[in-house]
């Protein structure tokens, strides 16, 4: 499988491509389903989740599918109520306070049993996926999930979380611990169901200081990666955070198989500075290039591929997700451009 070869830093005739948020609102077939079902309803229903996962595979033929779900299902399984509000994003209730800490959360075992719809969806997807297409499972990394649980939704500056980190670090640690334990079991259940690879989304890690990254990211993510490395049919693990350009020396120490690079990072420099470590890179075209004239999109994609050809282990992707108003025809051109590389 091309995706797995690149994730293992083997030489490949071209980089594999998949795209973050490749399923979603920019696709008319997704919107047609969304008219009939709520977002969470589709995620909770294995049949619908499998259908949505396959939509971009059928439309564009990328080298990997990503499970249709959300990183916040773990917060929901732990006992918070999760809703998505139009133009606002996710809302988690009640948001956690230092006074409540983990006392309002469910035990890890109980939380895990509530996520059983995910491995069910994975089994359906594996039956439908072309043989050459990899299936990527995922979860949020504990810090990012804990941020949403603390803030009760999205936050530009993580104020509530950062206040808790300094005023009541023990309680915050308990929350991250709880999320870590559930995440490990959740990812193992995805491996058992048949994913070929895993990705940890740590969207907000880049807002931390260098010191706090070492306190709140490194130990927990290292533990998840180490546990999954020795579990069953070892699958490659990607670690993605916004701000990888600054934090990659620390991220390398967590020993992921692939570093997911956002569009601002120097992906070639990161790959070169890895030395002998066999870690692949993923990324990192600026998502805004999907708005560019097609000739520009093709030229930039080809330039990115060329710059990484000397270093085996590149998985082509955008540096962050596709936006809802992007043109599916441009996504098709991007996938075709990468697949036509010679």
Could you say whether residue 321 binds ligand CP3 (CB under 6 A)?
yes
Could you say whether residue 39 binds ligand CP3 (CB under 6 A)?
yes
> Cβ atoms within 10 A of the Cβ of 232, count?
9
Comparison of 26 and 298: residue with beta carbon closer to ligand CP3 = 26
Of 22, 51, 55, 282, which one interacts with ligand CP3 (CB under 6 A)?
Answer: 22
Could you say whether residue 201 binds ligand CP3 (CB under 6 A)?
yes
| Contact characters 55-94, ligand CP3, x per CB under 6 A | -----------x-xxxxx-----------x----xx----
Report the relative pairing of strands 89-93 and 81-85 from DSSP bridges: antiparallel
Q: How far apart are alpha carbons 168 and 246 in whole angstroms? A: 27
Of 1, 5, 8, 25, which one interacts with ligand CP3 (CB under 6 A)?
Answer: 25
Burial 181-219 (b: 16+ CB within 10 A, else e): bbbbbbbbbbbebbbbbbbbbbbbbbbbeeebbeebbbe
Using the contact rule CB under 6 A, the part of the chain among 14-22, 94-102, 269-277, 290-298 near ligand CP3 is: 14-22
Q: How far apart are alpha carbons 103 and 105 in whole angstroms? A: 6
Of 23, 50, 73, 115, which one interacts with ligand CP3 (CB under 6 A)?
Answer: 23
Comparison of 143 and 172: residue with beta carbon closer to ligand CP3 = 143
Comparison of 69 and 161: residue with beta carbon closer to ligand CP3 = 69
Report the relative pairing of strands 64-66 and 197-201 from DSSP bridges: unpaired
In angstroms, what CA-CA distances link 203 with 128, 142, 148, 174, 206? 30, 11, 11, 21, 7
Q: Which of residues 97-116 bind ligand CP3 (CB under 6 A)?
A: none
| Rg of the chain in Å (alpha carbons) | 19
What is the torsion angle, in degrees rounded to the nearest 10, for the CA atoms of residue 278, residue 282, residue 284 and residue 285? 120
Q: How far apart are alpha carbons 243 and 204 in whole angstroms? A: 9
| Contact characters 279-318, ligand CP3, x per CB under 6 A | ----------------------------------------
| Residue 13: half-sphere exposure toward Cβ, Cα within 13 Å | 6
For the bound state, the minimum distance from the C-beta of residue 114 to ligand CP3, rounded and expressed in Å, comes to 18
Q: How far apart are alpha carbons 329 and 332 in whole angstroms? A: 5
Cis peptide before 94 (omega within 30 of 0): yes
Per rule CB under 6 A, count of chain residues that contact ligand CP3: 22
Q: Which of residues 140-169 bind ligand CP3 (CB under 6 A)?
A: 154
First to last CA, the chain: 18
Comparison of 12 and 69: residue with beta carbon closer to ligand CP3 = 69
Using the contact rule CB under 6 A, the part of the chain among 19-27, 187-195, 252-260, 333-341 near ligand CP3 is: 19-27
Using the contact rule CB under 6 A, the part of the chain among 15-23, 120-128, 229-237, 301-309 near ligand CP3 is: 15-23
Query: Residues 53, 123: contact at Cβ < 8 Å?
Result: no
What residues are annotated to the active site?
21, 25, 34, 70, 148
For the bound state, the minimum distance from the C-beta of residue 52 to ligand CP3, rounded and expressed in Å, comes to 8
For the bound state, the minimum distance from the C-beta of residue 203 to ligand CP3, rounded and expressed in Å, comes to 3
Q: Which residues contact 307 (CB under 8 A, 6 or more apart)?
A: 267, 268
Comparison of 66 and 274: residue with beta carbon closer to ligand CP3 = 66
Comparison of 22 and 190: residue with beta carbon closer to ligand CP3 = 22
Q: How far apart are alpha carbons 282 and 1 in whole angstroms? A: 16
Kindly state the tokens that stand for 80.
Answer: 């918070």
Interface contacts to ligand CP3, rule CB under 6 A: 20-25, 34, 39, 66, 68-72, 84, 89-90, 138, 154, 201, 203, 321
């Amino acid at each position: 499988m091309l995706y797995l070869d690149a994730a293992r830093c083997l030489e490949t005739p071209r980089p594999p491509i998949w795209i973050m948020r490749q399923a979603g609102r920019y696709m008319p077939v997704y919107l047609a389903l969304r008219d009939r079902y709520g977002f969470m309803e589709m995620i909770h229903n294995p049949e619908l989740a499998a259908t949505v996962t396959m939509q971009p595979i059928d439309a564009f033929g990328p080298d990997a599918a990503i499970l249709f779900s959300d990183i916040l299902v773990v917060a929901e399984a732990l006992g918070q109520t999760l809703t998505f509000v139009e133009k606002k994003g996710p809302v988690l209730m009640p948001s956690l306070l230092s006074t409540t800490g983990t006392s309002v959360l469910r035990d890890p075992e109980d939380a895990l049993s509530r996520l059983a719809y995910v491995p069910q969806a994975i089994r359906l997807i594996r039956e439908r996926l072309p043989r050459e297409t990899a299936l990527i499972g995922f979860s949020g990394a504990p810090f990012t999930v804990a941020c949403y649980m603390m803030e009760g939704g999205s936050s530009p500056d993580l104020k509530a979380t950062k206040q808790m980190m300094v005023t009541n670090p023990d309680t915050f640690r308990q929350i991250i611990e709880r999320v870590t334990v559930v995440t490990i079991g959740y990812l193992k259940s995805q491996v058992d169901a048949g994913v070929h690879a895993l990705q940890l989304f740590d969207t907000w890690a880049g807002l931390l200081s260098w010191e706090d990254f070492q306190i709140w990211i490194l130990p927990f993510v290292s533990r998840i990666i180490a546990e999954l490395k020795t579990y069953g049919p070892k699958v490659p693990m990607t670690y993605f955070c916004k701000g990888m350009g600054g934090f990659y020396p620390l991220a390398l120490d967590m020993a992921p198989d692939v570093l997911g690079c956002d569009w601002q990072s120097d992906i070639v420099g990161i790959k070169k500075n890895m030395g002998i470590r066999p870690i692949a890179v993923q990324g990192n075209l600026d998502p805004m290039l999907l708005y560019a004239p097609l000739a520009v999109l093709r030229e930039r994609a080809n330039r990115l591929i060329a710059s990484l050809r000397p270093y085996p282990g590149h998985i082509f992707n955008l540096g962050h997700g596709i936006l809802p108003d992007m043109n599916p025809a441009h996504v098709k051109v991007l996938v075709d451009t990468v697949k036509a590389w010679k």
